Structure 1
C-alpha cells in the first residue's frame, strides 16, 4: 500500500509539472516604442506578448498624461486610436489616425490568453 501511495504522488507531481506551462499568463515581452523611450511623432505602437491572445477579449486605451508647457495636464484619452490583435496573434497594435503630438503617454492594456484569465498592465513612453 505504501508503494502505491508514493507512485500516486509521483504521477500527480509529474502531471502538475507538465500542466504548468499551459496555465501561464501572457506577459509583455517587448514594445515599440520601448518602455520610457522618447520617440518622434508616431502613428503606430506595438506591444508583443509571450503567447497568443484572444482577439475579442484583448485591447488597449492610449492616454496622454502630460503635454510640454502645460503643468498639471489631466489624463486625456486619445481619440482616433484603434487597438487590435496583430496578424501574428501575439501582438497588440495601436494605430492613430494622426501622428501623436509631443507629450507623455500611457497605454492601459488588457489581454486574455489560452488560460482565459484577463491580465492588465500599463506601458509608458514619450513623444517629442
Structure 2
C-alpha cells in the first residue's frame, strides 16, 4: 500500500508540474527587448513557447509620450502557430517604445508581459 501511495503521489506531482509549465511564455521578440535598432521595423514579431490563439491575443505599443502607436491586426504566423506578427501602420520615428502583449495559448492559459526597445 505504501508503494502505491508513493507512485500515486509522484504521478500527481508530475501532472501538476506539466500543467504549471503549459503557459505560452515569450521566448523571443523582434525587435529584441532593450534593443536599439537603426531603423523602424515593419512589424513586431513575438515567438512563444507554445501555440497561441490569435483571435484572443494582441499587442499594444506606446511611444515615449505614452501614446498608442497605430498597428495592423495581429496575426499568427502561417506555419509557426507559436508566433504573433503585428505589422506597423507607419514607420516609427526615433525614440523609445513599450510593447505590452497578451496571449491565449491553445490549451486555454492566458499570459502577458511587456518590454521596451528604441529606434535611433
Q: TM-score range by the shorter chain?
A: 0.7 to 0.9
Q: How far off its partner does 1:8 sit?
A: 3.1
1:33 maps to which of 31, 34, 44: 31
- Aligned-residue CA RMSD in angstroms? 1.8
Deviation digits for residues 63-98 of structure 1, max 9, x if unmatched? Answer: 112xxxxxxxx3000124332222211111110122
Structure number having the greater strand percentage: 1
Alpha carbons 1:23, 1:115 under 8 Å: kept: no
Matched, 1:86 2:84: no
Residue in 2 aligned with 1:62? 61
TM-score by length of 1: 0.79
Q: In terms of Rg, which structure is larger?
A: 1
For residues 46-74 of structure 1, the C-alpha deviation after alignment (integer angstroms, 9 at most, x for no partner) is 11110111222111111112xxxxxxxx3
Uncovered stretches (5+) of structure 2, i.e. residues with no partner: none
Report the TM-score, using the length of structure 2 for normalisation. Answer: 0.84
- d(CA) in 2 for partners of 1:111, 1:21: 19
Say whether residues 1:100 and 2:92 are aligned partners: yes
Report how many aligned residue pairs link the two structures: 117
